[in-house]
Amino acid sequence: MVSPAIALAFIPLLLTVLIKYRYFFVLFYRAILVRIWKDCTTGLSREERAYQYVLTHCTLGDPDSILDAFDIWCSNVEFISNIGPKKGKILDRLLMEQSPLTVLELGAHCGYSTVRIARSLPLGARLYSVEMDQRNAAITEKIIRMAGFDDSTVELIVNPSDEVIPRLRSDYSLEKLDLVFMDHWKKCYLPDLQLLEDSGLLGKGSMVLADNVLFPGAPKFLRYLRKCGLYEWKIHRATLEYSRGIRDGMAELIYQGIK
């Protein structure tokens, strides 16, 4: 049995750990514990709960209203890992600067970033959004249409990214991607980037944006960027979406081609 004196000696250490990692404890509570509780008590997935909130708090046909409703829900109710408003502004700026005509999104989740990208595209541009989870894809489809975008602007593809990328030329007649946004499983960032390289869909000047490269992190992806010499790249540092005190960043890559 631990003596009271030894137990008291550990209190300063415990307090130090709690203070130092308090933001991670808050994230664990909001992202894991609340989700488990709500899943059990509502019978709905977290994404379905978010959709219900957005549906009842947004103005149909208004992308900004839909994004605002998502941001309020994710900030105050439950945590969802989408790009969020702070890093979203970086994405908005890059989209305005690049004016891409052909965009590929890997990881639609429940449609937040899909709407964010689609609303910034120039006239005649098209977004191909890939989501492997069928339940999430069904929500994304509703969110896209609620925002007022039809199939001529946004096409949702429900399949794993490693199956979709090799077929983009043959099935969707794509010759070059102007911009790729990655926000799916972080372990897929590197193999999917290499698939894009092998497919020939990245031309000189093509931009690739990859979210959450610092937290939860994509270390193999970053190591590859440092060594391959195919990209000019940098990291836009920020904090994790809908969180404070957790450092994160979005990688911006400009493809230079084989040297």
Q: Which domains does the chain have, with CATH numbers?
A: 4-76 (no CATH), 84-255 (3.40.50.150)
| Annotation says 159 is catalytic | no
First to last CA, the chain: 66
Mean pLDDT of the chain: 93
Q: Are 86 and 61 in contact (CB under 8 A)?
A: no
List 47, 105, 141, 183, catalytic entry: 183
Has 211 been annotated as catalytic? yes
| 118-146 average pLDDT score | 97
Catalytic, out of 78, 133, 141, 212: 212
Is this structure's pTM higher than 0.95?
A: no
Q: Taking 90 as the threshold, does the pLDDT of residue 234 lie above it?
A: yes
Contact status, residue 208 vs residue 182, Cβ threshold 8 Å: yes
Average pLDDT over residues 107-118: 97
Q: Which two tokens stand for residue 226?
A: 């440092």
3-class SS of residue 32: helix
Angle, CA 159 vertex, CA 157 and CA 162 arms, to 5°: 110
The reported pLDDT for the residue numbered 179 is 98
pLDDT digits (tens, 9 = 90+) for 138-163: 999 999 999 999 999 999 999 999 99
Map residue 178 onto helix, strand or coil: strand
Helices (H), 126-242: 134-146, 161-164, 168-172, 189-199, 219-228
Whether the predicted pLDDT of 10 surpasses 70: no
At 120, give phi and psi (nearest 5°): -100, 0
Q: What percent of the chain has pLDDT over 90?
A: 88
Which residue of the set 78, 131, 133, 211 is catalytic? 211
Told to judge if 204 belongs to the known catalytic residues of this protein, a careful annotator would answer no
Whether 186 sits among the annotated catalytic residues: the reply is: yes
pLDDT tens digits along 32-91: 999 999 999 999 999 999 999 999 999 999 999 999 999 999 999 999 999 999 999 999
Note the pLDDT of residue 14. Answer: 61
162 catalytic, yes or no? no
CB 142 within 8 A of CB 175: no
Catalytic residue among 87, 105, 136, 186: 186
Question: Would the pLDDT of 257 be above 90?
Answer: no
Please tell me what DSSP assigns to residue 66.
H
pLDDT at 15: 60
User: Phi and psi of 239, rounded to 5°?
Assistant: -105, 160
From the candidates 78, 131, 141, 241, give the one annotated as an active-site residue. Answer: 241
E strands in 73-188 = 102-106, 126-130, 154-157, 177-182
pLDDT bracket for residue 166 (50, 70, 90)? very high
